[in-house]
Amino acid sequence: MPTNILMPALSPTMTEGNLAKWLKAEGDSVESGDVIAEIETDKATMEVEAVDDGILGKILVAEGTEGVAVNTPIAILLEEGETANDSGEPSAEAPAPSTAETPQESAPTPQSNNNATQPTGAIVQNRDIFHAQGVIIEPPPFDEAAFFTDTYDVTVRDALRDAMAEEMRADKDVYLMGEEVAEYQGAYKVSQGLLDEFGETRVIDTPITEHGFAGLAVGSAMNGLKPIVEFMTFNFAMQAMDHIINSAAKTLYMAGGQLGCQIVFRGPNGAATRVGAQHSQCYASWYAHVPGLHVLAPWSAADAKGLLKAAIRDPNPVVFLENEMLYGETFACPSDEDFVIPIGRAKIEREGADVTIVAYSIMVGKALQAAETLAEQGIDAEVINLRTIRPLDRHTVLESVKKTNRIVCAEESWPFAGIGSEIAALIGEHAFDYLDAPLARVCAADVPLPYAANLEKLALPQVEHIVEAARKVCYAD
């Protein structure tokens, strides 16, 4: 049957072009791959190749014609023995993507006919998606108090180690990889003892090669393992950003749900002490910006253990932001190995009636100190420990603000497009009418972190800044 050769598009934006030259004449036989014509666009001259074998029956658009619309038939291709006048000659109408070749009229919801073997995509109803659709949902239920009947005192450092050890005992696919995690026992001694217990196949010292080992770990996760990747600090993870975002976060979506990536990227984030601008950045909002990632930021030892266990069990890629200044702090932590904090649930660390202070990571401790000072001044502050940055527990924050009508966001990140900005947007969209004062943000100064002790202190948010901000939104001065 004769077939139309159509004016091809050379790019998604091309709508028309010039037919510069025919390289085959009517009656010539052509084979698939033969160049039959040249066309011009404003950008380039390109060759048109035959896709089928046959005989060039009739040229419909003469060479030299300008402004030929894409998909216009430019010639007719015949099989041997046919003529251009044979019945069945294709109509000169350009076929559109939805020609009537297959009835589709009664298809309100497109259904896969499953002819290409393909698992169906995961049905996902995650919290961010609900939020994007305008829904505020309650956080996952969790009876946390029940776990605190039996606790042990532990540093954040050892709680992180205990979480990894317990999960590695339970699942042989879990392994730890990073710089100095094995023989050195961790640059900050977080992985102390793990090499001895699990051996060098599961606790792996890497070269200083963040881009490479992050990508390697993602590949191993695609192939069924459950890596924990330790970055000596998240400042170095900028080298690995492409794999965290492009390879880990986006793959499940790009694969239509059939191939995900169970991986934890963890390490200290934010400022330490006097290490200068390149070792002191907070990356919470960078990662929280990305759909496909879970972003967690523990404060206490209980947070550290319960959230890291959740992260390791989570089938999704998780960015786990620790804080070097907290590693040595001791907290009571539940002894029960089933203490796993649900991702997406904030914790009210201190109940109060007058003002809500939202914080994460090291700022939770500072917010609690600020609340003590404020209490002495007659202001009853409620302190929310976000724990999960993404998906954000919007419900807990909103309910608190509806109660206190005033809110301060405290974080160690820069102000511009920070987590505080996201909280501000949340309040503006969903609690505008509840506010008795404009929201206040407490952030790092919008400068690279300086080295000099006095300047560094000025640049980082302190307890007194939170107190000031809370007093301001309470019109206390």
Partner 1 sequence: MSTKKTSKSKKAAKAAPKKRSNSEATPATEEMLKLYRQMLMIRRFEEKAGQLYGMGLVGGFCHLYIGQEAVVTGISSVQEPQDTVVTTYRDHAHMLACGMDPRGIMAELTGRIDGYSRGKGGSMHMFSREKGFFGGHGIVGAGTAIGTGLGFAHKYRGDGGVAIGYMGDGAANQGQVAECYNMAALWDLPVLFVIENNKYGMGTSVERSSAGELYKRGIGYGIPGEQVDGMDVFTVQAAARQALGYIRSGGGPYILEVMTYRYRGHSMSDPAQYRSKEEVASYKENKDPITTLKAMMETAGIAEEDLKAIDKDIKEIVGNAAEFAKNSPEPPPEDLWTDVLVEV
Judged by CB, which is closer to partner 1: 66, or 242? 242
- Determine if 225 is a binding residue for partner 1 (CB under 8 A): yes
Q: Count residues contacting partner 1 (CB under 8 A)?
A: 88
Asked whether position 203 contacts partner 1 by CB under 8 A, the answer is: no
CB of 402 to partner 1, least distance (A): 28
* DSSP-assigned beta bridge partners for residue 408: 357, 440
The phi, psi pair for 456, rounded to 5°, reads -60, -45
Concerning whether 279 is annotated as a catalytic residue, the answer is yes
Q: Which is nearer to partner 1, 98 or 454 (CB)?
A: 98
Contact 314, 346 (CB under 8 A): no
Beta strands at 29-30 and 54-59: parallel, antiparallel or unpaired: antiparallel
- Interface residue with partner 1 among 61, 84, 216, 424 (CB under 8 A) is 216
Residue 245 DSSP label: I
Site for partner 1 contains 49 (CB under 8 A): yes
By CB under 8 A, tell whether 287 contacts partner 1. no
Of 101 and 433, nearer to partner 1 (C-beta) is: 101
Q: Is 67 in the site for partner 1 (CB under 8 A)?
A: no
- 102 touches partner 1 by CB under 8 A: yes
**Which tokens hold the place of 466?**
């939170």
Q: Which of helix, strand or coil describes residue 204?
A: strand
The single residue among 21, 82, 192, 257 that binds partner 1, judged by CB under 8 A, is: 257
Maximum CA extent, the chain: 100
Task: State which of residues 142, 151, 193, 219 lies at the interface with partner 1 (CB under 8 A).
Answer: 219
CB of 114 to partner 1, least distance (A): 8
List 26, 144, 279, 399, catalytic entry: 279
Q: How far is the CB of 353 from partner 1 (least distance, A)?
A: 35
Q: Is 23 in the site for partner 1 (CB under 8 A)?
A: no
Peptide bond into 108 cis (omega under 30): no
Beta bridge partners of 204: 177
For residue 282, with 0-12 CB atoms within 10 Å meaning exposed, 13-18 middle and 19 or more buried, which class applies? buried
Q: Are 449 and 277 in contact (CB under 8 A)?
A: yes
Query: For this structure, is 211 an active site residue?
Result: no
Q: Is 213 in the site for partner 1 (CB under 8 A)?
A: yes
Indicate the residue among 22 and 327 with the shorter CB distance to partner 1.
22
Cis preceding linkage at 391, omega within 30: yes
Distance CA 144, CA 154 (A): 18
Q: Could you list the active site residues?
A: 210, 279
